[in-house]
Every structure is written in C-alpha cells, then in structure tokens.
Structure 1
Amino acid sequence: MKLLLTSGGISNKSIRDALVDMLDKPIEESNALCIPTAVYAIPGGAWNAWKFLNGQSGAPMCEVGWKSMGVLELSALPSLGKEHWVPMVKEIDVLLVDGGDPLYLNYWMKQSGLAEILPSLDSVYVGLSAGSMVMAPNIGEFFVNWTPPSGGDETLNLVDFSIFPHLEHEMLPYNTMANAEKWAAGMKGPAYAMDDQTAIKVIDGEVEVVSEGQWKLFTP
C-alpha cells in the first residue's frame, strides 16, 4: 500500500502532485472511499464528520475533484459480513481517512478488520492528522485522549516513525516546536513534527517528506 500521511490534507500543489504521482492517473479519474470514524471521538464529532464529507472542514480531502466518493464507517463493519465491504475496499483507488482521535481510529480499524487487509491493498492511503498518526507504532502520551479498553498509546505499527501534526497551528496553542521536542524525547523511534503544509510519502518502506511549510525529524 502507498501512504500519503498529511497533517492538513491535500493542502498545496506539492502534496497534490505527490498524490497524483502515487495514483498514476488524474484525481478526476480516481474513485475514493472516505473514512470519518476518528472524528466522532472528539467534541462536535458528528458536525465535523459532515464537514469532512462535504468538503467544508478546511483541510482539503473530499473536495479535490474525485470521480466518485463513498463513505466507509468502520464502526458499522463488525456487524456486516466481509463480503459487503472488502471487495469494494480492494478495488478502490484511494482511502481518505479523516482526523480526530488516533486511538479511537486504531481501535475501530482493528475491530472492523480493515487493519488486517491494509498492507495488502494496492490503493493509496491518504491520512489527515489522526488518520496519519494511526500508522505509527505509537502516538505518545501527549496525544492520548480517548482511552482504548487495553490502555496504552499503541497504534498500527505500519510505519517505523511517529507523527506530531499541526505544528505551530494558530488554533492549537500547545502544538509548538518546544512541545514537539518534549514529545519526541519520549518516543522510542524516529518522529516527525510537521505543519499543515507538509506530508510524508511512503512507498515500499521508502520515506519522502513533501513540504511547502515547516517540519523536523527527531531521531532517538
């Protein structure tokens, strides 16, 4: 699977160009599935899910001109047979995974069975904030809000680095470089702090930063 892990969505030309390169065809010829699940675990989640799906979230994902879009709600999948959704996921060009709470998203990715098939997919996975963070081995105590039944801060471990999103965002006064450095000091592996004009492209384990903004790599 190809990963485009963003902080603020498809927010500039460099990130959009990287996405088109990964798709190997125009966005206008590509079909997308939108996953809003993570946003339900934060205040105003239902309203924010509607904004994400209708292209009004302020973080471009669903509104960039896809040929078609569907909605995949992970919390509904355990009550369905896999024949209802797995073929669709395997045929789709791109998964658009919204932000919100990364541990809540991690929980439902595993409960739904999506986490199990992600590595085998040929589609492009585009994460937004929590949708990107969930790919890491863990997220760090700084970002723990919703607590999973098992506790801890572990996530999917599909990449070997962690992500501190929304660096120096005017609406998030605690997401400073100083706090990113403190967060990174407690992480066991490589960690990226990045703003909303930055994304991390991962293909076959090869990592490339795509940015028109600010980012920093912290190594243990």
Structure 2
Amino acid sequence: MKLLLTSGGVTNDAIRSALLAMLGKSIDECDALLIPTAQWGQPACSPQTVWMSTAGRWPGETGLVDLGWKSVGLLELTALPSIGGDRWMPWVQAADVLLVDGGEAIYLAHWMRESGLADVLPSLADTVWVGVSAGSMVMTPRIGPEFVDWRPGGSDETLGVVDFSIFPHLDYPGWDENTSDAARRWAAKIAGPAYAIDDQTAISVVDGAVEVVSEGRWTALNT
C-alpha cells in the first residue's frame, strides 16, 4: 500500500503531485472509497460534520471527495462486521484509493481491526491510502495521550504500519494546543521518530521510502 499521510488533505499542488505519482494515472480515471468512521469517535464531530465530509460541503475547502475522482463510494467500517468480508472486500480491492477522514485515531484503529480492514491492508499493494489527521495518525505506532479522545486514559497505540508518529495541524490558527512548543512536549513522550506537520504538509510512504511533501511548515522530532 502507498501512503499519503496528510494533516489537512490535498491542500496544494505539491501534495496533489505526490498523489498523482502514487496513483500512476489521472484522478478522473480512479475509483475512490471514503472512510468517515473516525469522526464518530471524536466529540467535536457530529452527524452534520460527517455529512459535510461525504457531500463535499466544508465551507471554503476542497475536501477529499472534491478532487475529481471517476467515482466515490462510502465505506463505513462500523457496518462491515454485520455484512461479511465476501461483500465488502471486493469493493476495497477494486478501489484505486481509500480516502480516510479525520476524527479520532484510536476509534478508527479499533474499527479497522474489528471490521477486518487492518488485516487486508498488506494485500493492497497498489492501493493508495490518503489520510487526513486521524486518518494519517492511525497508521503510526502511537498518537500520544494528548490525542486520545475516545476512552481517555486508555492506550494511545495505533496500527504501527509506519515507524513514526504524527503531530497534525501544527500552529493551526486559534488552536493553542497545537503550537510548536506543544509538539515538542508531545514528542518527548513518544518513544520513536515523529513529525509535526501543518495543513500544507504531507508525508509520502512508498515501498518503505519516507518523504515529506510540503508547501508549509513541518519539523522532524526525536531524530
């Protein structure tokens, strides 16, 4: 699987170019599945925010579904255990890209395991995973206690597909808890390499090679 781990989505030309390189063809030739599951575990999200993501209605923003895909479908992970893999696995295997929205990464990791999607990932060699915020953090080993909003006080361990952690929304306007100083304090609690990235930055992972793609601000931590 090829990973495009973003903080805010496909927000600039550099990130879009990285996405196109992973896809190996134009966006309008690709079938996508949107996974909004992480939002249900995040107290700041609601049915209204899930609808805005799936309908591409975030004010002033180009969302994951608005990039010009050939087709976009919805894959809700909480429903998958009730229908069985014989139905949903062909949908995933046929998709060129999985668009994984933000929300709560521990909740998302839980449902990736419960649904069986986590077990399928190693077989999806040519599929592109585009994560936003929690949709990126879920692929890391840990997210840090600061980002655990579902079952606070529980584990901050996620899937560990990559060997680094991600602090998203670096220096986001009005978010005092997402400053550079806060990122350094967060990193001190994470045993391993980490990146703090803003919403104009993504991390590309292809065949194990890690590359930061940015038109904004980012920093490597614990190096």
> What TM-score do the two structures reach when normalised by structure 1?
0.96
Does 1:47 pair with 2:48? yes
Per-residue deviation, 1:120: 1.6
Aligned to 2:93: 90
Aligned residues: 219
8 Å CA contact 1:3–1:201 kept in 2: the answer is yes
Per-residue deviation, 1:44: 3.5
Give the 3-state SS of the residue equivalent to 2:187 in structure 1: helix
Aligned to 1:125: 129
Alignment of 1:1-220 (within 5 A): 1-42=1-42, 43-57=44-58, 58=61, 60-121=63-124, 122-147=126-151, 151-219=154-222
Distance 2:27 2:63 in 1: 13
Residue type of the partner of 1:65? G
58-67 or 34-43, which moves further after superposition? 58-67
115-124 or 92-101, which moves further after superposition? 115-124
Which consecutive aligned stretches of 4+ in structure 1 deviate over 6 angstroms post-superposition? none
Distance 2:97 2:83 in 1: 22
Distance 1:93 1:55 in 2: 19
Residue type of the partner of 2:26? P
Per-residue deviation, 1:188: 0.6
Per-residue deviation, 1:204: 1.2
Which runs of no fewer than 5 residues in structure 1 stay unpaired? none
Distance 1:48 1:83 in 2: 30
> What TM-score do the two structures reach when normalised by structure 2?
0.95
Distance 1:173 1:132 in 2: 21
Per-residue deviation, 1:59: 5.5
Give the 3-state SS of the residue equivalent to 2:129 in structure 1: strand
Which runs of no fewer than 5 residues in structure 2 stay unpaired? none
Q: Aligned residues: percent identity?
A: 56
Distance 1:38 1:21 in 2: 27
